[in-house]
């Protein structure tokens, strides 16, 4: 049996953070199918593995536990697979980076798909997106990257903060190429970190597998279609 089961849609969006951490930790996992995810979501909270609104949901078979909420899942995996710094401040910084990444996903999808992009709203959002890039760059500058460790929080090996940062910006700019120039301009150290993490063998393997399964998709649905339209990318 696999170590974990991941309930997440066939997209490299929120679930990809969980996949990337599991890959980095060398853990095995099975992906639940769409029908299973839909059935779990439709079940009464009393009948769900863990009461939740939307995936990702992760089952750890070794401990027979189930978790929802991407930041909580990553906090658990970070502790279990020793991907968090011992220092309490840097530990909290890791969780801040995860929460920032989740906020960026929320804003990039216009509040988890509640609205779609138009040319006007996308243009209005540009300073805010640049600022998010700057926030990651400055977080890295203050804690590690500029100090020469090469990792987000000055750790000697990639940790949760590095994987999350790389999956956020690396996946987004790979899917939406025009955003890479923006990342290079506003967050050059983060662009470099994303490339270094992306080159790790476990991440190369995950990306190849994900690209084969999900193609060019990122978050899917009308929100992705509108993002492609404002970026003048093929649908």
Ligand X SMILES: N[C@@H](CCC(=O)N[C@@H](CS)C(=O)NCC(=O)O)C(=O)O
Which residues contribute to the site for ligand X (CB under 6 A)? Answer: 13-14, 53-56, 69-70, 102, 112
Residue nearer to ligand X on the CB measure, 162 or 224: 224
In the complex, least distance from residue 73 CB atom to ligand X, rounded to whole angstroms? 8
Residue nearer to ligand X on the CB measure, 163 or 191: 163
Residue nearer to ligand X on the CB measure, 192 or 220: 220
In the complex, least distance from residue 192 CB atom to ligand X, rounded to whole angstroms? 27
Take residue 182 and report the two structure tokens written for it.
Answer: 């923006």
In the complex, least distance from residue 53 CB atom to ligand X, rounded to whole angstroms? 5
Cα-based torsion angle of the residue sequence 168, 169, 173, 178 in order, rounded to the nearest 10 degrees: 130
In the complex, least distance from residue 9 CB atom to ligand X, rounded to whole angstroms? 6
Q: SS in 3 state form for the chain?
A: CCCEEEECCCCCCHHHHHHHHHHHHCCCEEECCHHHHHHHHHCCHHHCCCCCCCCCEEEECCCCEEEECHHHHHHHHHHHCCCCCCCHHHHHHHHHHHHHHHHHHHHHCHHHHCCCCCHHHHHHHHHHHHHHHHHHHHHHHHCCCCCCCCCCCCCCCCCHHHHHHHHHHHHHHHHCCHHHHHHHHHCHHHHHHHHHHHCCHHHHHHHHHHHHHHCCCCCCHHHHHHHHHHCCCCC
In the complex, least distance from residue 103 CB atom to ligand X, rounded to whole angstroms? 10
Residue nearer to ligand X on the CB measure, 13 or 136: 13
Residue nearer to ligand X on the CB measure, 134 or 220: 220
Q: Give which of 163, 171, 169 is closest to 211, Cα–Cα.
A: 171
In the complex, least distance from residue 87 CB atom to ligand X, rounded to whole angstroms? 25
Total Cβ atoms within 10 A of residue 106: 14
Residue showing the smallest CB distance to ligand X in the complex? 54
Between CA 132 and CA 151 the distance in angstroms is 18
In the complex, least distance from residue 206 CB atom to ligand X, rounded to whole angstroms? 18
Residue nearer to ligand X on the CB measure, 77 or 191: 77
Residue nearer to ligand X on the CB measure, 13 or 176: 13
């Amino acid at each position: 049996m696999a170590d974990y089961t991941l309930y997440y849609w066939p997209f490299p969006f929120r679930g990809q953070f969980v996949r990337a951490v599991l890959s980095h930790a060398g853990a095995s996992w099975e992906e639940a199918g769409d029908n299973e995810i839909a059935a779990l979501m439709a079940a009464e909270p009393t009948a769900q593995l863990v009461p939740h609104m939307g995936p990702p949901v992760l089952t750890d078979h070794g401990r027979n536990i189930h978790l929802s909420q991407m930041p909580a899942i990553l906090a658990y995996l970070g502790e279990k697979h020793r991907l968090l710094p011992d220092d309490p401040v840097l530990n909290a910084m890791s969780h801040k980076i995860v929460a920032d990444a989740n906020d960026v996903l929320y804003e990039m999808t216009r509040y988890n798909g509640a609205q779609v992009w138009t040319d006007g709203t996308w243009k209005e959002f540009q300073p805010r997106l640049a600022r998010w890039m700057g926030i990651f760059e400055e977080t890295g500058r203050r804690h590690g990257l500029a100090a020469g460790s090469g990792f987000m929080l000055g750790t000697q090996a990639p940790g949760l903060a590095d994987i999350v940062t790389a999956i956020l910006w690396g996946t987004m700019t790979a899917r939406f190429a025009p955003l890479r120039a923006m990342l290079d301009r506003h967050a050059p150290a983060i662009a470099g970190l994303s490339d270094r993490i992306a080159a790790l063998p476990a991440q190369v393997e995950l990306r190849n597998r994900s690209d084969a399964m999900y193609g060019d998709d990122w978050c899917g649905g009308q929100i992705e279609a509108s993002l492609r339209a404002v970026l003048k990318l093929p649908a």
